[in-house]
Amino acid sequence: MFYELTPCSQPTLRVSVPCPAVYVTLNSSTTHPQLLCQGSTVTWTDRYQECPDVPERFDREFCVLGSEGFTTGWHWWKVSVQGDYSSPLRGTAWWAVEVAKESIPRKRSFQLSPQEGIWAVGTSVWGVSVAFQMYQQRLSLRRPLRRLWVRLDCEARKVEFLDAATEASLYTFQMGPLLGETLRPFFYLGKMGLTLQCEEYPVKIMRD
């Protein structure tokens, strides 16, 4: 069986199955004050934004949750990484695209790892593409990631990340028992210079 990811507007001779793609928007109530969140885009800034100190807001880690929550089914969404990975003035920018339990802490620091209810890939503080485990797993990539797919399968309790440029699988996490917990898209930015954006157009999953 072969799956092809293509924009719905493109012609194809394959027979389509129901399209599970999700256009993720960001929940501004969860945004760290040093992140600028606009619809489906988040950017790290060098100053704090004026925003209410509500219980759901992250105030220690530079994170934001997606508005969409999932407990069943399987779902796709696409994220682009925009900007410069490094510069002489800012150094290396680090980031992560994740799936996270809704219950992750908001008012304390935490590690990006499955032990915290976070399953993520991205770039570490050393500028290396990694899967964020308790001990980071380096990804074998020839070039920095610019666009990636996230595939969440709630029934099988796993999340897979794919390079959107090649459609190659980057890493798959087995999530273990979820106990009915809601899962949400989750985004992390560690320094100026980068923007994460959720892509708008839907896709079709095609089957031979």
Q: Where are the domains of the chain?
A: 35-199
What are the backbone angles phi and psi of residue 30, rounded to the nearest 5°? -100, -5
Q: What is the mean pLDDT of each run of 10 residues along the chain (208 residues)?
A: 33 38 91 93 89 94 95 93 64 82 95 95 88 92 89 95 93 92 95 83 41
Task: Give the pLDDT score at 20.
Answer: 58
Domain 35-199: which topology? Jelly Rolls (2.60.120)
Helical segments of 27-110, H only: none
CB atoms within 10 A of CB 64: 26
The residue to which tokens 């304390």 are assigned: 108
